[in-house]
């Protein structure tokens, strides 16, 4: 009981005294997460484009990303330190690598889910391959891609804490500091803020995805009409709208 009294789960004076340190750790955690996911999305988009363009490349690409995902994060950080030093680069490279499997899979699934009839209709309307991808296939694949981004982001928030072993872990540094000193307050603050950050980022990405795909809202059940609330068929209406824009 005495130990619990001298080392409570949270010391409120710690929040006041160490607020600058907590704020710095939170900002770094956000920066590392967003940077890793953004770079991962760029790399995943390139890999997915190659896999979609050359079908034989899909299996090697997904196998490679799966292999990277299986490498223990601590080991990968340790392997990079002799080459990139104790730096942000050392933290970002593994974080980017761990996003690839989820992002590549979601992008490939999204584009492969586009019905062949939709592609044929777009080609029949005279859309070029690039315009077909950007104005027809990509919008239909967005829900899958957004789901992948959400999973990758939440996963990255957790993995960033591991980067504390090289001094770049954001909120993970608070957790590591608490573990080293058997001081529960920084551990509680770091863990709690990590969970809250993951939830807020997930909600933000979900909201953005919902705003980008208004046609996906309120999809009718099987027994109801296939038209939306405004009386237009979601998939067909979207393709027709894109075709009209292209014709104009």
pLDDT in tens, 194-221: 999 999 999 999 999 888 887 766 554 4
Q: 238 in a domain, yes or no? A: no
Give the pLDDT score at 248: 38
The predicted-structure confidence for 156-197, as pLDDT tens digits, reads as follows 999 999 888 887 888 888 888 888 888 888 888 989 999 999
- Domain residue limits at 199: 7-213
Give the pLDDT score at 87: 83
Q: Above 50 in pLDDT, residue 229?
A: no
Q: Percent of the chain beyond pLDDT 70?
A: 83
Give the pLDDT score at 125: 80
Q: 218 in a domain, yes or no? A: no
Domain count, the chain: 1
We report the CATH number of the domain holding residue 102 as 1.10.3720.10
Q: 194 in a domain, yes or no? A: yes
Taking residues 153-157, report their average pLDDT.
95
The dihedral built from the CA positions of residue 145, 149, 151 and 152, taken in this order, carries a sign that is positive
Q: 228 in a domain, yes or no? A: no
- 179 or 37: which leads in pLDDT: 37
Q: 30 in a domain, yes or no? A: yes
Instruction: State the average pLDDT for the chain.
Output: 81
Q: 235 in a domain, yes or no? A: no
Q: 96 in a domain, yes or no? A: yes
Give the pLDDT score at 44: 96
- Residue 5: pLDDT band (50, 70, 90) is low
Q: 31 in a domain, yes or no? A: yes
Q: Above 70 in pLDDT, residue 69?
A: yes
């Amino acid at each position: 009981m005495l130990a619990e009294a001298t080392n409570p789960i949270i010391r409120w004076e710690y929040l006041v005294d160490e607020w600058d340190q907590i704020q710095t750790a939170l900002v770094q955690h956000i920066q590392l997460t967003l940077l890793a996911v953004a770079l991962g999305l760029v790399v995943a988009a390139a890999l997915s484009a190659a896999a979609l363009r050359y079908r034989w490349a899909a299996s090697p690409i997904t196998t490679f990303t799966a292999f990277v995902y299986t490498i223990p994060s601590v080991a990968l950080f340790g392997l990079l330190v002799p080459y990139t030093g104790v730096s942000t680069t050392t933290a970002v490279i593994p974080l980017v690598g761990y996003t690839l499997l989820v992002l590549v899979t979601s992008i490939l699934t999204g584009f492969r889910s586009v019905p062949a009839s939709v592609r044929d209709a777009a080609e029949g309307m005279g859309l070029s391959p690039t315009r077909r991808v950007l104005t027809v296939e990509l919008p239909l694949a967005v829900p899958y891609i957004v789901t992948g981004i959400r999973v990758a982001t939440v996963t990255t928030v957790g993995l960033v804490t591991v980067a504390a072993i090289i001094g770049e872990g954001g909120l993970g540094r608070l957790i590591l500091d608490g573990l080293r000193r058997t001081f529960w307050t920084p551990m509680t603050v770091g863990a709690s803020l990590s969970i809250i950050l993951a939830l807020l980022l997930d909600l933000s990405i979900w909201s953005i995805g919902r705003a980008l795909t208004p046609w996906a809202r309120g999809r009718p059940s099987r027994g109801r009409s296939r038209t939306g609330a405004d009386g237009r068929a979601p998939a067909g209406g979207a393709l027709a709208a894109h075709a009209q824009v292209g014709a104009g």
